[in-house]
Amino acid sequence: MKIAGLISFVMILVTAAFAQPLYPDYYDKTCPQALSTIKRVVDDAVQQEKRMGASLLRLHFHDCFVNGCDGSVLLDSTPEFESEKMAAPNRNSARGFEVIDRIKSEVDHACGHPVVSCADILAVAARDSVVALGGPYWDVLLGRRDATSASKSAADADIPAPTLDLSGLINSFQNHGLDVHDLVALSGGHTIGFAQCRLFRDHIYNDSNIDPEFRRELQAICPRNGDDTNLHSLDPTPAFFDTNYYRNVLVQRGLLHSDKALLESPETGGAVAAYSLNLNAFAKDFVISIVKMGNIKPLTGDQGQIRYNCRKVNYG
Ligand code: HEM
Ligand SMILES: *[C@@H]1O[C@H](CO)[C@@H](O)[C@H](O)[C@H]1NC(C)=O
C-alpha cells in the first residue's frame, strides 16, 4: 500500500515534470466529434474562399515557430503582453482568426464543454486545409495545451523573413529542430496561397536570375512605389496542393527571395528539382516534416490551459 502510494506519487511528479507525447486519438473519449467538427468548418470556409486554406496552414506555422505550437499566435493584446498579431511577419498579413473562432465555438458546443485546445485546433485545421486543396492526409498528433501568454518580440525574432538567404533560412529552421530537408519540404507550403507586393518587391526589382517574362508580369502588378498590398499567387495554381511551386522555383519564377534561395546550394536545389517531378515524394516528405513541426515544444500534462476563447487567456 505504502509502496503503491509512493509509486503513484512519483508517477505524478514524473508526468508533471516531463512533456507528454502527443497522439492522434487524444480526444476520442472526451470529444469524439472534435475532428469531424473542425473538418466541417474548414471545408465550409475553404469552399467560400480557397485562399483560406493557405491562410490556416500558415497560421499553424507561425504558431509553432514562436515558443512552440501553443496557440500563442491567436491571443489578442492585453496589458501584460502585446499580441503576436502585431509582429512584422503577421501584421496586415496573418489571417484566418475568425475561422478559428468559429471552429472553437462549434467544437466546444459539440463537446458540451471546452476540452479541445486552440493549438490542436490550428494543427488539425492546417491538415484539413491541405486536404481540402487536394494535398495529402496525415494523422495529426494531439494533446497540445494553450499558452497563457504571447510574445511579439519572439514572433519578430523567430519567424523567418522572406529577405533571408539560404544560410539564414537553414539557421531559422535549425533553431526549431528542423533540418535542411524539412526546410525544402515545408517551403512547399507555398504551393498554395498568395503574397503581397511589399513582400516580393525587392526580389522582383533587385535580384538577378529571374525569368524576364515573370519579372515583367510581376512589375506590372507591383510598382516600385505604392500598391503595397496587391496580391500575386505564390505559384500558378494557388488553390491546388501540387508540385507547381517547385517547378516554378526551378525555372526562376519563385515569388519570394526566400523561395529562390532554395537554389543556392546543390543539396537544396537538388531537392527542389526532385520534388518538381514527383508529387508523391513531395507529399510524403511534407507530411513527415509538418508532423515534426507540429511537435515543436508543445505544452502538455498540467502545463498551460484549455482556453475558452482562442483570443483570450482564461482567468480564475
Ligand atoms: C521558409 C521560410 C518561409 C518564409 C520566409 C515565408 C514567407 C512568407 C511570406 C512573406 C508570405 C506572404 C505573406 C503576405 O503577403 O501577407 C508567405 C505566405 C504563405 N506561407 Fe510562407 N514562408 C516560409 C515558410 C512557410 C512554411 C513552412 C509554410 C507552411 C508549411 C508556409 C505557408 C505559407 C502559405 C500557405 C502562405 C500563403 C498565405 C495566404 O495566402 O494567406 N510558409 N510566406
Ligand atoms: C533596390 O536596391 C536599391 C539600391 O540598393 C534600393 O535603393 C531600392 O530601395 C531597392 N528596392 C527597389 C524596389 O528598388
Cα 84 to ligand 2 centroid, rounded to whole Å: 29
Q: Evaluate whether the domain defined by 3-159 bears CATH number 1.10.10.10.
A: no
Q: Given this model, what pLDDT does residue 179 score?
A: 98
Mean pLDDT in consecutive groups of 10 residues from the start of the chain, 316 residues: 47 58 97 98 98 98 98 97 98 98 98 96 98 98 98 98 98 98 98 98 97 98 98 98 98 98 98 98 98 98 97 90
Nearest C-alpha to atom 37 of ligand 1 is from which residue?
A: 193
Our measurement of the distance from residue 245's CA atom to the centroid of its chain's CA atoms, rounded to an integer in Å, reads: 17
29 lines ligand 2 (CB under 6 A): no
**Substitution candidate for ligand 1 out of 55, 57, 58, 69 with most atoms within 8 A of CB:** 58
Ligand 1 closest atom vs CA 55 = 41
Q: Given this model, what pLDDT does residue 123 score?
A: 98
**What stretch(es) of the chain map to CATH 1.10.520.10?**
3-159
* Nearest by Cα to 140 from 30, 307, 304, 294: 294
**Substitution candidate for ligand 2 out of 163, 199, 204, 205 with most atoms within 8 A of CB:** 205
Q: Given this model, what pLDDT does residue 10 score?
A: 47
The set of long-range contacts for 247-254, using a CB threshold of 8 Å and a minimum separation of 24, is: 247/276, 249/276, 250/276, 251/211, 252/209, 252/210, 252/211, 252/214, 253/210, 253/211, 253/214
Ligand 2 closest atom vs CA 201 = 13
| 144 touches 152 (CB < 8 A) | no
Nearest C-alpha to atom 11 of ligand 1 is from which residue?
A: 195
Ligand 1 closest atom vs CA 195 = 15
Q: Given this model, what pLDDT does residue 147 score?
A: 98
Q: Given this model, what pLDDT does residue 241 score?
A: 98
Known catalytic membership, residue 62: yes
Cα 25 to ligand 2 centroid, rounded to whole Å: 52
Query: 166-287 is classed in which CATH architecture?
Result: Orthogonal Bundle (1.10)
61 lines ligand 1 (CB under 6 A): yes
**What stretch(es) of the chain map to CATH 1.10.420.10?**
166-287
Nearest C-alpha to atom 24 of ligand 1 is from which residue?
A: 187
Q: Given this model, what pLDDT does residue 240 score?
A: 98
End-to-end CA separation in angstroms for the chain: 36
| 156 touches 149 (CB < 8 A) | no
Please pick, among 60, 62, 203, 257, the residue that the annotation labels catalytic.
Answer: 62
| 243 touches 278 (CB < 8 A) | yes
228 lines ligand 2 (CB under 6 A): no
Nearest C-alpha to atom 12 of ligand 2 is from which residue?
A: 202
2 lines ligand 2 (CB under 6 A): no
282 lines ligand 1 (CB under 6 A): no
